[in-house]
Structure 1
Amino acid sequence: MTDAERQAMDGHTEYWRRLLAEGRVVVYGPVADPEGVWGLGVLRGADRAEVLAIGEADPSVVAGVNSFEVLEILGGRTG
């Protein structure tokens, strides 16, 4: 990992910690996929546009280190 990539990932980690503290994230973290590690975040949002904006503002996405997809949970429930 280059210094620029490490800086972007440090910003990414802090960004998601802040979103969790604000109650905008239900859960997030790395996924131990045998094909390669990737991250998952479950967010609370008023609509798809809000969730897309959150992803687009992630420092690692802004830096071009990571990308993201948004998929909706249909009929999801929380405890």
Structure 2
Amino acid sequence: MASNEAPREATASKLFHCRLIPPRPDFAFTMTEEERALMGRHADYLREKLREGIMIMAGPVADPAGPWGLLILRAGSEAEARAVTDGDPVSNSGRGFRYEILPMLSVIM
């Protein structure tokens, strides 16, 4: 390896499980028109992350306790993953959405 090359593990991306918790358990069923518009901006943002190769997949999870959003990201660090979730329009909406981010220990793809 040339001296100006970083070790493979230093530059390798990791996968992160991001759980978007909505402001209320029945949010998916009781959205207002304004909230629907916000979710449209959220979906557009995630589609852009997919085009950039940062997002692997996303979608709502039918949890009996209340639906929530699943987002799988490819990032170099948890801080990079947090920057993506912080940039999501729902995160900046002031409506009570929050993300939990957990690194994947291993992945079979």
User: Please, what TM-score do these two structures have when normalized by structure 2?
Assistant: 0.65
**How far off is 1:78 after superposition?**
4.2
- Aligned counterparts of 1:8 and 1:61: Cα–Cα separation in 2: 10
1:7 aligns with 2:37: yes
Cα offset for 1:18? 1.1
Larger relative contact order (C-alpha < 8 A, sep ≥ 6)? Answer: 2
**Higher share of residues assigned helix:** 1
**Distance between the aligned counterparts of 1:42 and 1:6, measured in 2?**
22
Q: Tell me the matched-pair count.
A: 78
Q: CA RMSD, aligned part only?
A: 1.4
Match of 1:67 in 2: 98
Cα deviation, residue 3, structure 1: 3.8
Letter in 2 for 1:39: G
Q: State how far apart, in whole Å, the 2-side matches of 1:13 and 1:77 are.
A: 25
Moved runs in structure 1, 4+ residues, more than 3 A? none
Unaligned runs of 5+ in 1: none
Partner residue in 2 for 1:16: 46
- Within 5 Å, give how 1:21-60 maps onto structure 2: 21-60=51-90
Task: Report whether the alignment pairs 1:77 with 2:92.
Answer: no
TM-score, with length taken from structure 1: 0.87
